[in-house]
Amino acid sequence: MPRPVLTARDLEAIPNGGETTVAPDALITPLAAEEAAARNITIRVKEKQEKAYDAWTAAAATPRRVVAIGADHGGFELKQQLIGHLRDWGCAVLDQGTDSTAPVDYPDFAEAVANAVARGDAWRGIVVDGAGIGSAIAANKVPGARAALCYDRATARNSREHNDANVLSLGARLLSPETAREIVAVWLEAEFGGGRHQGRVDKIRAIEARHGKK
């Protein structure tokens, strides 16, 4: 079961001198602690019996989700950190490499992750390189993969709710580890909205079919 996290962004909607409540095992990021102190925001800890509903807690009761993850040398360190978070959240991890910071080519790892998702070996996929752009392009060449380059929580949520993205691309040089962690958490939790969005995703699949892809 993952530890809930309180970040500085979570405090944006709380007025100066206000308060918020967190679970007993919550992790309060350094930036959140500084923001709370600067704005005189009180952070209260709930009693264990009052622990709030957590989507990840509910997910822990279901079968483990398999997440394929891969990175080039530029994304290796962030990949290793994200693997730890994924396991904390109860996900099974399918590590597609790379295994060090030695220079490699990002298309190889993006393709491996996208293939794992398209074949059904993984529920979702994550690819990481320096900027995230090249890996997204490469992953989207695999039929059945819908890779989205995300850089904040809003784009992560939109890519899932509107586009049913099944591969997340991240730029390790452009994101802090905390921001990357938040993006992944939101992206894994968000559900596809269906409805009018389903017709648009179907059109994406139709483009694949017209170009000889499944």
The domain segmentation of the chain, as residue ranges, is 5-55, 63-189
Q: Average per-residue pLDDT in the chain? A: 88
What are the residues whose beta carbons fall under 8 Å from the beta carbon of 62, sequence distance 6 or more? Answer: none
> Higher model confidence: residue 139 or residue 1?
139
Distance of CA 155 to the CA centre of its chain: 11
Is 211 one of the annotated active-site residues of the chain? no
User: Which candidate in 73, 162, 197, 211 is catalytic?
Assistant: 162
Q: What is the pTM of this model?
A: 0.73
User: Can you give the pLDDT at residue 34?
Assistant: 78
Kindly tell me if the per-residue pLDDT of 36 is higher than 60: yes
Q: Which of 65-74, 105-114, 119-128, 205-214 has the lowest mean pLDDT?
A: 205-214
What is the CATH code of the structural domain delimited by 63-189?
Answer: 3.40.1400.10
Residue 96, CA distances (Å) to 107, 114, 120, 164 in order? 12, 10, 15, 22
End-to-end CA distance of the chain: 37
The helix or strand, by DSSP H or E, that contains position 82, with its residue range, turns out to be helix 76-88
Per-residue pLDDT of 167-201, as tens digits, reads 999 999 999 999 999 999 999 999 999 999 999 99
Q: Positive or negative CA dihedral for 10, 15, 17, 19? A: negative
Bridge partner residues of 27 (DSSP): 5
